[in-house]
Amino acid sequence: MAIFSAYSNNEILDFLKKNAPHAEIHLDDEVAAKHAANGNAQTEIDGHILAYIAVADVKDIRGVVKTATKFHLPIVPQGADTSTVIGADGINDALILSTARMDHIKEISKEDSVAVVEPGVINQTLDTAAREQGMFYAPDPASKPMSSIGGNVSTNAGGMSGVKYGATKDSVLGLKVMLESGEEISLGGRTFKQAFGYDLTQLFVGSEGTLGIVTEITVKLFPQPLGKKITGIAFSRIWRLWHAVLPTCAILV
């Protein structure tokens, strides 16, 4: 456990436990090392975090934010921790706030073609649940079987289906976000068309936790295709391939 010189570790820990009562708080060096900044870091930070906190609910998140504010500590939000870059890795004296335990699918509405999920829900889990009701969740990053929706939102993850359906930002309709002040705000909604005011929902998508901590996500779902066929076509010149792809994309095949 790292030491923040202005306060004792016990003082910080006692306050954290009181304000995030359902959270799992890890202080051991093994966990700290796992979530420390990796070798790709471009700074002198050694990534010795203060604590790794697996929150269970919004109250826990607010408690972590309150603790960080009181003791002047950085927070690094983290989902399933599958990223191959360093955006979700720990930094010196940071509180790692993991939303992996917040993994409930709150709603799947076939009538509205939307799903409402907590940030720790795994991408593949949501897609499987949607397919059981004749729909599917389009964004399919390479980490789909293990990455969380919250992490996908924070990084605006994409995938092969992005050619037709876009990246994560194109499927996010609404968010609930915890701000630095401890206030939880609601952005967007559950309708496909929201033509009023600033589009703050899209501002938070891809912000990697720098603007706030995502606590709930509303995403659009699509009806499953009636069928699927795979065809192989050989081209003698690359430009012929290009001229074939453009009209194919235009008709949304």
Q: Is the dihedral of CA 200, 205, 209, 214 positive or negative?
A: positive
Whether residue 114 is found in the same domain as residue 82: no
Which residue would you say has higher pLDDT here, 5 or 70? Answer: 70
Per-residue pLDDT band at 41 (split at 50, 70, 90): very low
Structure tokens that stand for 105 in this block:
């699918």
In a domain, 25, yes or no: yes
Q: Which of 27-31, 192-196, 218-222 has the lowest mean pLDDT?
A: 192-196
CB of 134 within 8 A of CB of 111?
Answer: no
93-143 pLDDT per residue, tens: 889 999 999 999 999 999 999 999 999 999 999 999 999 999 999 999 999
- In this model, does residue 42 exceed pLDDT 60? no
Beta bridge partners of 122: 148
Tracing tokens 């037709």 back to the chain, one arrives at 164
- In this model, does residue 1 exceed pLDDT 50? no
53-101 pLDDT per residue, tens: 999 999 999 999 999 999 999 999 998 888 766 677 777 888 999 999 9
DSSP string across 49-61 = -SEEEE--SHHHH
CB of 67 within 8 A of CB of 12?
Answer: yes
**How many CA atoms lie within 13 Å of 32's alpha carbon, on the beta-carbon side?**
17
In terms of phi and psi (left: phi > 0; alpha: psi -120 to 50; beta: otherwise), the region of 197 is left
Q: How far apart are the first and last CA of the chain?
A: 54
150-188 pLDDT per residue, tens: 999 999 998 888 888 899 999 999 999 999 999 999 999
In a domain, 41, yes or no: yes
Whether residue 127 is found in the same domain as residue 88: no
19-29 pLDDT per residue, tens: 999 999 998 87
| Segments forming the whole domain that contains residue 208 | 105-223
CATH code for position 214: 3.30.465.10
What percent of the chain has a predicted confidence (pLDDT) above 70? 89
Whether residue 41 is found in the same domain as residue 149: no
Whether residue 126 is found in the same domain as residue 212: yes
Whether residue 218 is found in the same domain as residue 119: yes
Determine the pLDDT at residue 192. Answer: 80
- In this model, does residue 240 exceed pLDDT 80? yes
Structure tokens that stand for 135 in this block:
């729909």
- List Cβ neighbours of 226 (8 Å cut-off, separation of 6 or more): none
In a domain, 171, yes or no: yes
Q: Of the candidates 253, 114, 110, which has an alpha carbon nearest to the alpha carbon of residue 194?
A: 114
In a domain, 115, yes or no: yes
Q: How high is the mean pLDDT of the chain? A: 87
